[in-house]
Amino acid sequence: MEHIFREGKANHPVFIMLHGTGGNETNLLPLGEILDPEAAILAIRGDVVDNGMLRYFKRKEEGVYDVEDLNQRGEALHQFIVESSKEYNFNLDDAVFVGFSNGSNIAINILLREDSQVNKGALFAPMYPVDVSHNTKDMKDVSIYLSMGENDPIVSLNDSENVVDIFETRGAEVTTFWVNSHELNGETAMQAKAWLNRVFK
């Protein structure tokens, strides 16, 4: 997979950066500088092209996922992250998903996997309209920051609350912050930084 890796300093997180639809692996690098300029970064490019825009998995239409493709590509991305941890010599316990929109959504898919060793995520504008009732993963060791829009034209309030519920019902520690729209602004970035400083010790 096309990606950027930047080595960080010891005792700092490793950001696994996953862009939104139409973005690329460079989009979230400025956010990484805000969250922790000394963190390592693994920024991965989505390899699905949808109307000329890069994504991480296929969709049937806006808000309707191709769940089979999501699961297959989620597994492939998960394996790439595991392999990258060996290649670049970082500990997956130090990894933090940093995702926006489509990137947040595939991060949720990986976090829900029983074999996922990544247990932290800062997810901006997430949506996960997938039946996960069969998933009984214990997430008591998972800590998640969720940034959601009160007037998001893409993600409804019910969809946002569903994401919160996915994590809370499985025992994860969830921190929420509400913005206006489908966005990643300076205020929520600073709130994510505060969350990161608290959970990454």
Q: Which of 121, 160, 124 is nearest to 141 (CA)?
A: 121
Mean pLDDT of 128-147: 97
Q: Which phi and psi (to 5°) does residue 99 adopt?
A: -130, 150
**Which of the two residues, 178 and 51, has the higher pLDDT score?**
178
State pLDDT tens for residues 76-110: 999 999 999 999 999 999 999 999 999 999 999 99
Mean pLDDT of 9-28: 97
Question: CB–CB of 107/18 below 8 Å?
Answer: yes
Q: What are the tokens at 85?
A: 């941890």
Answer yes or no: pTM beyond 0.95. yes
Mean pLDDT of 148-174: 97
Measured CA angle at 74 (ends 108, 183), to 5 deg: 45
The domain that holds 123 is classified in CATH as 3.40.50.1820
- Work out the burial of residue 123: count CB atoms within 10 Å of its CB; fewer than 13 is exposed, 13-18 middle, 19 or more buried: buried
Count the domains in the chain: 1
Share of the chain above pLDDT 90, in %: 96
**Given pLDDT bands bounded at 50, 70 and 90, which one contains residue 163?**
very high
Answer whether residue 201 shows pLDDT above 80: no
Question: CB–CB of 138/172 below 8 Å?
Answer: no
> Can you list the positions of beta strands (E) in 27-142?
40-44, 48-50, 53-55, 59-61, 64-65, 95-100, 120-124
**Of how many residues is the chain composed?**
201
**Mean pLDDT for the chain overall:** 96
**Where in the sequence numbering do the catalytic residues fall?**
101, 152, 182
Mean pLDDT of 45-65: 91
Domain range for 89 is 3-199
